[in-house]
Amino acid sequence: MTQQEDFSKRKLWGGRFTGETDPLMNRFNSSIRTWGKTMYAVDIQGSLAYCKALTKAGILTEKENEEMSKGLGQVKAEWETDQFVIKDDDEDIFTANERRLSEIIGKEIGGKLHTGRSRNDQTTTDCRLWLMNAVREIIDFLTSLVNVMTTRAEHEVDVLMPGYTHLQRAQPVRWSHWLLSHTHALLADLERIKQLLPRIAVLPLGSGALAGNPYGLDREFLRNELGFQSIGMNTMHSVYDRDYAMEFMQWAGLLTGHLSRLAEDLIIYSTAEFGFVQLSDAYSTGSSIMPQKKNPDSLELIRGKSGRVFGQMAGLMMTMKGIPTTYNKDMAEDKEPLFDCASTVKDVIRITEGVIATLVINPEKMLAALSADMLATDLADYLVKRGIPFRETHHISGQAVVMAEKLGCQISELSYEQLKGISDAFAPDVIKVFDFEVSVENRNVIGGPHRAGIREQVAYIREKVGRA
């Protein structure tokens, strides 16, 4: 066996051991086939920057740096073209990339890449780099969704619909107001993830296994080279900190919870019993046995994915809660749930945008669902404006509702004389109360459903989205 072949079979930690590892343990300990491919690009990005830092510190010559950079470029190209061959002894992406680099440029140079660097700081550096990229993409997707919802609300401001509490018809609102109620939740999510990015973009590289390294590596150079916003100021904390991953997953749980509620509303509104909206065929499926059915599978999957995301977050938090300082192998369980969580979030946001952009609303059905009893509070408000305390007007309006029920008619169908029999405070102009458009326009507080309120909300959201 040649020295080159011998080196290629070494594990990064193998010098301490004399016996062979159980093949089952090899598989149990390996991550290369589960999440390794996800990180190849950021691992090479980190290694290229580290080569420059080693050169700057005098560990590598300029020629060695050039050879190493060229070799890492070839490794990346092999991954990108599906030519990279994973070997049985490739424990993880870090081992695989370094092994292949040494095959390309020789162990004399390739073996210097790991100088002062541990997989402890390497793995979390790569993970943070990956998540920084994912978060920027998610910000773009979420911004697009918020813009689509805002534009739709602006254009469909004329449409009235019932607002609900306890899933019972409560008061008339605008369709735009309902849509913007969900948009505001997503706007807050957008602000939160932007605030999270600086806490992800903290450089661990240079921390070594836990105590730094003795080579005088310029961590500020590494921070700038890799696009991090700050440097981890305690090397022990840097190698075990996974708060950034858990915080992202907590954020993802909140976001998908909001999207799940939006999906649930639309599922209800799309039923034949409501008929307020109709989903595009692109986001629906049929039944295998009932030809007439059009199922809102896109919305049901959005609703279901929220449970998946929350479970991933809870699982990682349970893994991390009792681990002693600093790095422990338990922490290898951070990546699969994190990667899947980020991928799920991207898909859910994009599918939601597609659903919102293409669904058809039925204004006539929404209007038909409005009933005069929903104006009972407006009737009480009418009497308040005539100087009667609200607690009394609430009781009077309730009496009118009871009378209409007994007579089998709508409250709006009660005559002036009938209302006058309940309270002398009613005047002939009471008939003006029973107008849904007037009811909505009268609720003209900041953030209300009136037309000017919708315009103000649209402008507010656009201003917030336009900020960095």
Tell me what pLDDT residue 8 has. Answer: 46
Q: What is the pLDDT of residues 188-201, one digit of tens each?
A: 999 999 999 999 99
Superfamily covering domain 120-368 = Fumarase/aspartase (Central domain) (1.20.200.10)
Report the SS3 class of residue 407: helix
Residue 294 pLDDT class (50, 70, 90 cuts): confident
User: Any idea which residues carry the catalytic annotation?
Assistant: 166, 287
* pLDDT higher than 90, residue 78: yes
- Residue 274 is which amino acid? F
Identify which has the larger pLDDT, 154 or 1.
154
* CA separation for the pair 49, 128 (Å, rounded): 15
* CATH class of the domain defined by 372-434: mainly alpha
Give how far the C-alpha of residue 363 lies from the chain's centroid of Cα atoms, to the nearest Å.
31
Tell me what pLDDT residue 125 has. Answer: 98
Q: What is the pLDDT of residues 110-154, one digit of tens each?
A: 999 999 999 999 999 999 999 999 999 999 999 999 999 999 999
Q: What is the pLDDT of residues 90-120, one digit of tens each?
A: 888 999 999 999 999 999 999 999 999 999 9
Residue 467 pLDDT class (50, 70, 90 cuts): low
Q: Where are the beta strands (DSSP E) in 151-237?
A: 160-165, 168-174, 202-203, 230-231
Say whether the peptide bond before residue 2 is cis (omega within 30 degrees of 0).
Answer: no
Tell me what pLDDT residue 284 has. Answer: 86
Q: Which residues contact 322 (CB under 8 A, 6 or more apart)?
A: none
- CB-based burial label for 388 (10 Å; 0-12, 13-18, 19+): middle
User: Can you give the pTM of this predicted structure?
Assistant: 0.90
Percent of the chain at pLDDT > 90 equals 85
Place of tokens 């009497």: 383
Extents of the domains making up the chain: 3-115, 120-368, 372-434
Determine the average pLDDT of the residues in 358-370.
Answer: 97
Fold topology of 3-115: Fumarase C; Chain B, domain 1 (1.10.275)
Average pLDDT, the chain: 91
Place of tokens 């293409």: 358
Tell me what pLDDT residue 466 has. Answer: 85
